[in-house]
Amino acid sequence: MAGKVLTVEAYLRTEEAYVETVMAFHEDAGAPILCACGVEAAGSDPGLPGDVAKAPPLEGQAVRRGELAALIRACLREIFWCRLEAEDGGCAIHFGYDFYVYLTGRDLTGRVRDVAHAGGLFLEPFQSPYATPA
């Protein structure tokens, strides 16, 4: 049985749904400055269109909202990997394999759920395997 071919257009639509969902979560958490933690180089840029961070942030570097979407895309494309965490613990964004993204720290608002569902994403309660013990 043959599977469906993933087109660039379909990939970019899905990626944008993730970016919009994470950005909505960050905004609803008060848009705190995030810290890049556990930074790891991963692979090369696949050359897809879109605003994407070309280099990983430094360990401990502050990531502001204006930089966030490009950094999310880079992590989803596995150009590099990092956890993004607010100092107060009220907002954390962790990236896993196979497009798993863990949003932790606050309950997801109805707006975040609506943004995710509009993009065809599924949300489920699950603790991030990348969370560091308190």
pLDDT tens-digit profile of 101-126? 999 987 788 999 999 999 999 998 88
Token look-up 């400055």 returns: 33
CB neighbours (10 Å) of residue 50? 13
Token look-up 């909505």 returns: 24
* Identity at 39, one-letter amino acid code: V
Q: What angle do CA 25, 31, 33 make, to 5 degrees?
A: 120
Give the pLDDT of residue 1. 57
- Per-residue pLDDT of the chain (134 residues), as tens digits, is 578 898 999 999 999 999 999 999 999 999 999 999 999 987 888 888 889 998 999 999 999 999 999 999 999 999 999 999 999 888 999 999 888 999 998 778 899 999 999 999 999 888 899 888 76
**Residue 69, token pair as written in the block:** 């979407």
pTM listed for this prediction = 0.91
